[in-house]
A and B are shown apart, each in its own frame.
Chain A
Amino acid sequence: MKIQVFTEGKTEEKVIKKLKQFFPGRTFETIDCKGKNNINSRIDDELGPDIGQQPVRALILRDKDPGETIKRIIQSVNNRLGGILNQRGISTSLQFQRVAGVWNVFVWNAASVDFRLAIHIASRRALSTLTKSTIDDLVLRLAFDPNVATILAQRQNVNVNGQVIIQKVTQEIPALLQQNGFPPLSEAKDYARLYAAVTRMHTSPPVFAGKVLASANTHLVQQNFASIIAAIEALQ
């Protein structure tokens, strides 16, 4: 059965592509909603005709912006889903449950209409100074592993030790910028671009994500994205 994955951007597509290996036989369709504000309406547009007609499995990958709370994010999806079901003449109670042992994944299971929806809310920052928790943070955490950084550098023909790259990206360059009056870097994407520049990738955060994921071993990927894997497992 296909799992439809609703995302805010394109980085998530690379992540899902990598995580597929842990779910043989499963197909995934990633839907880039181009921002968090479009996710609810895309769910309506994409899933509405299928709910109640055939089994539906869906996953929402959400970032958490400053000021947002998990409760408010869940409430917003809950309200929209309620509206969709009501519009489609489906009466079923709607309640997201936290997935056991994973505090940032919630699942809604409507057995009567064979519909399961999980929400994963990114909740880890790659660096304590960052203001949001995003999918890029998870990618960056992986890129900050010294072994991954070394492999990345080798693949880019940059003859520098991984630990040095991490040091430059996380401390020296940001400090230099600040000393020269630039405001501090506040998002994981900023660091991803910096990292990409240092390693001569000349590319965007989603492509950077793809390269980072390709440089990490299975165990590390599994560990780093354990909460997303748990969200997919909750849809089984």
Chain B
Amino acid sequence: MIERIIIHRFRGIRQGHIDRLRKVNLFIGPNNSGKTALLELLYLSATCGRPAIFIREDLLPDETGTLPARTALAHDFSGHPPFQRLRQRHGKRGEWKDNPATLTRERGIAVRLDMLKNDVRGPDAPWAEFRLEPPLPEWGEKDIYAFEQTDLSQIALFSLPQPKALDVSMIPATFAEAGIQPGDADWHYLWEPDWVYRWNLQHPLDRLAVWTTHGSKPDPARVLFYDTIAASSHLTTSFAQWAYNTVADWHEDIANCMAQIFPSLKEATIEVADAPDNQPGRTGYVRFRGQTPLGIDQFGDGARQAFKLIAHFVALAATVDESHPGMVLWEEPEVFQNPATLGRLLDVVVHLLKDKPIQVFITTQSLEVIAHLTRMLQRDILPPEQTLAFRLNLRDGVLRSSWFNRNNLTSWLESGRDPRVLEDIDAPLQFQLREEVHEDSSLYGG
């Protein structure tokens, strides 16, 4: 489980850290406070699962010149290439054509940091170039980790898992001041300029976004990033095929969950099949006995969103174990959902993920989500010792966070204070924690 993150120049965050991360983490706070940035950072680091060897010629023969590394998997849990996906989230083409990287003779990648676009070129640096070489295959085995030409536009990040030592040029000053030792954490380096905090360049390392993650990371192949784009896209064919072949009763479990969220679907079965109109990907079809199946995309946005979410969560919950822990990054569960549906959706998700080795990070702007999870904490449905909400605050590039445990959340909600906001706002309505939005007797013991 990731317990701590320390950040140097990632997106709008010039520096910052977040501690005390738990199994279930809720990120709240104003707009532009770093909530989504943290999800993306976690996603990028957690999907680094492709082995490589980091080499800096200028440091050799020192041991810091060659270190075991990881870079992005070709596809995440839901079948998307991680870096491409995030670029598209930010309105860009998936491929990064300007990556100053070339293939090496050994089928590795050589990256010229000194060739990065001007807008983030920092002071002259000794660290101008490095390579990521594939590990040598065993005799007779296929060279599965060798890089391809297509990787050059898809890889902009590498991780160094708990390196024994690091050259001082690779350690941000703030990390050194905080006393972070190389072996304490996994170190992540991202060199695409648009992901790097771009103001006040002072040190050579300011050309890169660097962060450390402390604690154990999930299985990179079991990292699910469920964002608003996933909600409006079809399932990828690779994910749907894998889930169908791997997860026993996948369709039935989806149907059961959907019936709990939408009682009108109680008699329906659900199948996942090709998307309509020869589009790539798969989607869900709802079938009532004796009737023609209806594509899930014919339903309202709430049902479409819930279906895609549940299809992924059911598959993830069924395929994690202690050796292959998972991670869920869930952006704004409230999108498209009526409060009653939202409550049932959260109940179902907590049912699915409870007792599973899955670390969950949720961002939300919704007081209903906060209130519902608080109620689950009050009733020990969510374990209080494994759950915290974090209010994030990003000012002048410095990320700060404060945490709320069960008592803090209860106290604030009951006294009518809003944990999402930092200043008093002129809210049009006074809220209060409602005792009953709905009741799920199976959850609350009668």
Chain A residues near B (Cβ < 8 Å): 2, 27, 29, 31, 41-42, 44-46, 48-54, 88-89
- CB <8 Å contact, A45 and B402: no
Chain B hits for A31, CB < 8 A: 415
- CB <8 Å contact, A46 and B412: yes
- Determine which of A2, A41, A49 lies in contact with B402 in the assembled complex, contact meaning CB atoms within 8 Å: A49
- CB <8 Å contact, B408 and A49: yes
Chain A hits for B391, CB < 8 A: 49, 53
Given contacts A53-B400, A53-B422, A88-B402, A45 and B19 within 8 Å (CB-CB): no
- CB <8 Å contact, B415 and A49: no
Range of interface residues on B (Cβ < 8 Å): 10 to 19
Chain A hits for B19, CB < 8 A: 89
- CB <8 Å contact, A49 and B393: no
Judge if B403 is at the interface, Cβ distance under 8 Å: yes
- CB <8 Å contact, A42 and B411: yes
Judge if B193 is at the interface, Cβ distance under 8 Å: no
CB distance from B306 to the nearest CB of A (A): 31
- CB <8 Å contact, B410 and A49: no
Judge if B175 is at the interface, Cβ distance under 8 Å: no
CB distance from B260 to the nearest CB of A (A): 33
User: Which residues in window 414-446 of B have CB below 8 A to A?
Assistant: 415, 417, 419, 422-424
- CB <8 Å contact, B408 and A54: no
- CB <8 Å contact, A2 and B424: yes
- CB <8 Å contact, B419 and A44: no
CB distance from B95 to the nearest CB of A (A): 40
CB distance from A7 to the nearest CB of B (A): 13
Chain B residues near A (Cβ < 8 Å): 19, 391, 393, 400, 402-404, 407-408, 410-412, 415, 417, 419, 422-424
Chain B hits for A42, CB < 8 A: 411
Closest to A41 in B: B407
Chain A hits for B412, CB < 8 A: 45-46, 49
- CB <8 Å contact, A46 and B402: no
Interchain CA distance A2-B404 in the complex, whole Å: 20
Closest to B393 in A: A53
Chain B hits for A88, CB < 8 A: 402
- CB <8 Å contact, A49 and B407: no
- CB <8 Å contact, B407 and A45: yes
Closest to A27 in B: B424
Closest to A30 in B: B415
Going nearest first, the 10 A-B pairs with the smallest beta carbon separation are A45-B411, A49-B402, A45-B407, A53-B402, A49-B404, A45-B408, A49-B408, A46-B411, A48-B408, A54-B422
Chain B hits for A89, CB < 8 A: 19
- Determine which of B393, B400, B410, B423 lies in contact with A45 in the assembled complex, contact meaning CB atoms within 8 Å: B410
29 CB contacts below 8 A, A to B, read: A27-B424, A41-B407, A44-B408, A45-B407, A45-B408, A45-B410, A45-B411, A46-B408, A46-B411, A46-B412, A46-B415, A46-B417, A48-B402, A48-B404, A48-B408, A49-B402, A49-B403, A49-B408, A49-B412, A50-B402, A52-B400, A52-B402, A53-B393, A53-B400, A53-B402, A53-B422, A54-B422, A54-B423, A88-B402
CB distance from A22 to the nearest CB of B (A): 21
Chain B hits for A41, CB < 8 A: 407
Residue with the highest number of chain B CB atoms closer than 10 Å, among A27, A41, A44, A50: A50
Closest to A89 in B: B19
Interchain CA distance A53-B90 in the complex, whole Å: 30
Interchain CA distance A199-B393 in the complex, whole Å: 54
CB distance from A2 to the nearest CB of B (A): 7
CB distance from A158 to the nearest CB of B (A): 38
Chain A hits for B419, CB < 8 A: 49
Interchain CA distance A46-B408 in the complex, whole Å: 6
- Give me 4 other A-B pairs in contact (C-beta within 8 A), A27-B424, A49-B391, A49-B402 excluded: A31-B415, A45-B408, A45-B411, A54-B423
Interchain CA distance A54-B29 in the complex, whole Å: 13
Closest to A32 in B: B415
Closest to B20 in A: A89
Interchain CA distance A48-B424 in the complex, whole Å: 17
Residue with the highest number of chain A CB atoms closer than 10 Å, among B391, B404, B417: B417
- CB <8 Å contact, B407 and A44: yes
Closest to A31 in B: B415
Chain B hits for A52, CB < 8 A: 400, 402
CB distance from B360 to the nearest CB of A (A): 20
CB distance from A43 to the nearest CB of B (A): 10
Interchain CA distance A52-B19 in the complex, whole Å: 15
Chain B hits for A54, CB < 8 A: 422-423
Interchain CA distance A50-B250 in the complex, whole Å: 44
Residue with the highest number of chain B CB atoms closer than 10 Å, among A2, A46, A52: A46
Interchain CA distance A147-B391 in the complex, whole Å: 52
Interchain CA distance A46-B410 in the complex, whole Å: 10
Chain B hits for A51, CB < 8 A: 402
Interchain CA distance A160-B402 in the complex, whole Å: 58
CB distance from B180 to the nearest CB of A (A): 15
CB distance from B266 to the nearest CB of A (A): 41
Interchain CA distance A44-B419 in the complex, whole Å: 15
Chain A hits for B393, CB < 8 A: 53
Chain A hits for B403, CB < 8 A: 49
Chain A hits for B410, CB < 8 A: 45
Interchain CA distance A89-B18 in the complex, whole Å: 11
Chain A hits for B423, CB < 8 A: 54
Interchain CA distance A85-B404 in the complex, whole Å: 14
Closest to B410 in A: A45
CB distance from B281 to the nearest CB of A (A): 42
Chain B hits for A53, CB < 8 A: 391, 393, 400, 402, 422
CB distance from A34 to the nearest CB of B (A): 12
Interchain CA distance A89-B411 in the complex, whole Å: 21
CB distance from B374 to the nearest CB of A (A): 12
Closest to A52 in B: B402
Chain B hits for A50, CB < 8 A: 402
Chain A hits for B417, CB < 8 A: 46
Interchain CA distance A42-B414 in the complex, whole Å: 12
Chain A hits for B411, CB < 8 A: 42, 45-46
Closest to B414 in A: A45
Interchain CA distance A35-B424 in the complex, whole Å: 28
Chain B hits for A48, CB < 8 A: 402, 404, 408
Interchain CA distance A59-B407 in the complex, whole Å: 20
